[in-house]
Structure 1
Amino acid sequence: MLTVKPRLREILKERGITQEQLSKMTGIPQPSISRFDKNKQHLNWHLFSIAGALELLVEELFVIEE
């Protein structure tokens, strides 16, 4: 069984970016970014917008464990 967890908090901390700044970069409301970070909601367009703004692959937004 795979376990998939977002690693957005870690990425933002490494880059010195806040959720509010990411919200401005992507056009995604900050509460939606928080829900993504807490593994509560992953909308497809959010994933691609966040990955694009951070210059990452979508897969790099997650830790995948078997």
Structure 2
Amino acid sequence: MEREIEIKLFHLLNESKMTYQELADKTGLSLRAISTLVNNKNERIPKAHLTKIADAFELEDIRDLIDFKK
């Protein structure tokens, strides 16, 4: 069984009613980087990006941001 990692950024944005632009402003990431993460198109994700996003949403558990796709 091959596993895929899912970035749950789309769900976090919807739950918080935050736009891509608002997240970009909070994290310093580009709109393109955020869009790529939302659409799960990245093969590699810099730890710094994950940290900035976790800080923006005040996440305590990395599993709130990434998980194995079901």
Aligned Cα root-mean-square deviation (Å): 1.6
**Equivalent pairs: percent with the same residue?**
29
Match of 2:31 in 1: 30
Unaligned runs of 5+ residues in structure 2 are none
Letter in 2 for 1:36: L
Normalised by the size of structure 1, how large is the TM-score? 0.84
- For residue 48 of structure 1, give the secondary structure of its aligned residue in structure 2: helix
Normalised by the size of structure 2, how large is the TM-score? 0.80
Match of 2:54 in 1: 51
Distance 1:6 1:65 in 2: 9
Instruction: Return the structure number with greater helix share.
Output: 1
Distance 1:21 1:6 in 2: 18
Aligned residues between the structures: 66
Matched, 1:60 2:64: yes
Distance 1:64 1:55 in 2: 21
